[in-house]
Amino acid sequence: MSSTTPIKEYKEITEYGYIKDGKVILRGYFDFQDREIGDVRESDEESLKYFVNRFDMVTKKVQAVKDSIHTAENKGSYLMKLIHMRTYLATYNGLGDFTKLYEEINVLEDEINEYIAKNRDKNFEIKTALLKEAQEAKYSTEWKDGTERFKELKMNWIKTGSAVKEEEEKLSEQFNDAMEFFFKRRGDFYQEMQRIMRDRLFKYRSLLNQVKRINRIGGGKEFVNEVKDIQNEWREVGKVPKMKINKTLYEFKKETAKFFNDLKSQRSSYRRKSPIEMKKELLETAESFLKSGSPYNIAKIKTLQNDWKQLGKLQAPEDKEYNLRFRIICNEIFESHFLERMAKNLHPDLYTKSDFEQLKIKMDLLRDSIKQDESELYEFNSRHGSNFNSNDPQDYQLYQQRNNFINKLKTKKRILQKLEDKLLML
């Protein structure tokens, strides 16, 4: 720069630069000194034009950043880009009004800082609300829903930007404490549930062994009350995962069935039963199956039906009542069995759900089924009417069809009532 060669200036760019000693010089601005930015190549004019064009290029870059900031949702992410842009401009080789570009960057930085300040206030409000929800949810005993809720809260917390530093640390600490409190309680609950499941399984096996012992010593009528008490205890033990109880349950049913079958054989050797007594015994067996609840042994129910059918109609006064009760019980067992299978098919994880969830699923399915049956009965009545002479051969088939609709509806409504009663007892 110490050369005495005269400076070549050009009217269009004199304010921003000049040529000296075959070099293109950018005039200093702010605290920057005059700076060499390139050599003169083909001609002074072409060289100056080249660097003016380069300045236009960087101006467009600044404008592009400006446009992006104005349309961006997260403007704060551009703050570092503006800092880099400052550094970039300080060493950029071009001819033009760099002070104007810096002023634009200053304005953008001010806008972003104002945006960040407002956002931090907004973030503080959002995180305060999330913290309040977390502090309320931490006492929940609905572990599945609570876990999902905390996952959602945590995701929203992460998505929300920072509040002012002093408040951010305090909020984060309280939020994490609420999460830890809930998950500690959940862990303790499931640990206790595992202990309860172990105790229940032990109780089930103990009851099974008691029936096995009675069968080993020959059983007999003197053990009837004891076996019935064991059955009642079995029903009161409580639920365990199906996979863990299936084998024990199968053995228990087999052993209790053996006891009562042996007892029947013993009793039959003492006296010959009349047909009406046999019906009564079949009815009591069917009632015991219904009371024991699902899963039902459908093969045994069908055997009972065949035995009942073979006895035919009897002259005894109780016969009509027994026939009606037996039909109602069998219908309820088959409908309950079908409902259980349908619920299991639609919800393969049915038995991992809570008692409340299982009952709710079955009740919803049953209500839909009842609604459909009522619609079909309405259509039937609309087509054929509802008054039929059961003694008229022409009417008999329609009479039977309508009765089937009505009996099916009654059965399903009875089952629904029992499920609703169970739900109220939870």
- How does pLDDT run across 164-182, given as a tens digit for each residue? 777 888 899 999 999 999 9
Average pLDDT value for residue range 132-153:
91
Helix (H) or strand (E) holding 39: strand 35-39
Average pLDDT value for residue range 230-234:
94
Exposure string of 197-231, with b = 16+ CB inside 10 Å and e = fewer, is: beebbebbeebbebbeebbeeebeeebeeebeebb
Whether 17 has a pLDDT exceeding 80, the answer reads yes
Contacts of 25 (CB under 8 A, 6+ apart): 17, 18, 19, 34, 35, 36, 37
pLDDT band at 112 (very low <50, low <70, confident <90, very high): confident
Average pLDDT value for residue range 272-278:
80
Burial environment of residue 292 by CB neighbours within 10 A (0 to 12, 13 to 18, 19 or more)? middle
* 1, 81 Cβ separation under 8 angstroms: no
Q: Could you give the CA distance from residue 161 to residue 115 in angstroms, rounded to a whole number?
A: 12
Whether 361 has a pLDDT exceeding 70, the answer reads yes
* 56, 97 Cβ separation under 8 angstroms: no
What is the pLDDT, as a whole number, of residue 2? 46
What is the pLDDT, as a whole number, of residue 335? 92
Closest CA to 332 of 355, 303, 298, 375: 298
Residue type at position 177: D
* 415, 407 Cβ separation under 8 angstroms: no
23: β partners: 20, 39
**pTM of the full predicted structure?**
0.40
Average pLDDT value for residue range 374-380:
87
What is the pLDDT, as a whole number, of residue 14? 67
What is the pLDDT, as a whole number, of residue 7? 65
Query: From the CB of residue 112, how many other CB atoms can be counted at a distance below 10 Å?
Result: 20
| Residue 339, both tokens | 């409902």
What is the pLDDT, as a whole number, of residue 1? 43
pLDDT, one tens digit per residue, over 314-359 is 888 899 999 999 999 999 999 999 999 999 999 999 889 999 999 9
Average pLDDT value for residue range 232-261:
92
pLDDT band at 377 (very low <50, low <70, confident <90, very high): confident
Whether 258 has a pLDDT exceeding 60, the answer reads yes
What is the pLDDT, as a whole number, of residue 207? 95
